[in-house]
Chain A
Amino acid sequence: GENVEQHPSTLSVQEGDSAVIKCTYSDSASNYFPWYKQELGKGPQLIIDIRSNVGEKKDQRIAVTLNKTAKHFSLHITETQPEDSAVYFCAASKGAGSYQLTFGKGTKLSVIP
């Protein structure tokens, strides 16, 4: 089955700096890659996603890049703010027919004011 590795497990950045979280996946048939943000005591919230026919996607301060050949994808957050502090999860799925997601173990991001 699919295996998703996520790094780093913790990340601290100064407010205004950029943060990068990286994930690798094992199943070359995976074609859908969402990122979720989970704040304390809440469920994960989808923040951005990318499909395998696209190499990069951007939404304001957040961007995701995908390298299908290397089977890795990354989340980039620019101009970080304290409210970006949360646990971020990457995931992968084969998409069609089922969005059963395989998740990474998460990255705890702390943005220091």
Chain B
Amino acid sequence: GAGVSQSPSNKVTEKGKDVELRCDPISGHTALYWYRQRLGQGLEFLIYFQGNSAPDKSGLPSDRFSAERTGESVSTLTIQRTQQEDSAVYLCASSLARGPPAFGAGSRLTVL
């Protein structure tokens, strides 16, 4: 079946602009995660959605970062007033309620 789909695959933006990244999880997966991967680094947890529960936002690095999820479907990660240090690959993953996450290919963000 279809895996986790992310768009855009690449995004180049100017410092100070807002960006939106989209994630389509695997159908039926109730849990959805966003991670950030800086060049040559491990994955850094950002936010976790599980069903209708309040999201776990404990990994968001600043109030410029926010994420929404529509039910158990699409999620968008928004970064406002982008900074150069926001340049990274943003990975989305989804899973069943109690299962390991399956990752998408990521959205590579470059802030000039």
Contact = CB atoms under 8 A, between A and B. Distances in A.
Interface stretch (B11-19, B71-79, B80-88, B102-110): B102-110
B36 to A, nearest CB: 11
Contact of A89 (B31, B43, B56, B104): B43
> Which of under 10, 10 to 19, 20 to 34, or 35 or more describes the interface residues of B?
20 to 34
Contacts, number: 56
Contact of A105 (B41, B56, B93): B41
A36 B100 CA distance: 11
B42 A105 contact: yes
A113 interface: no
Interface of B: 4, 31, 33, 35, 40-45, 48, 50, 56, 91, 93, 95, 98-106
Interface of A: 4, 6, 32, 34, 36, 41-46, 49, 89, 91, 95-96, 98-106
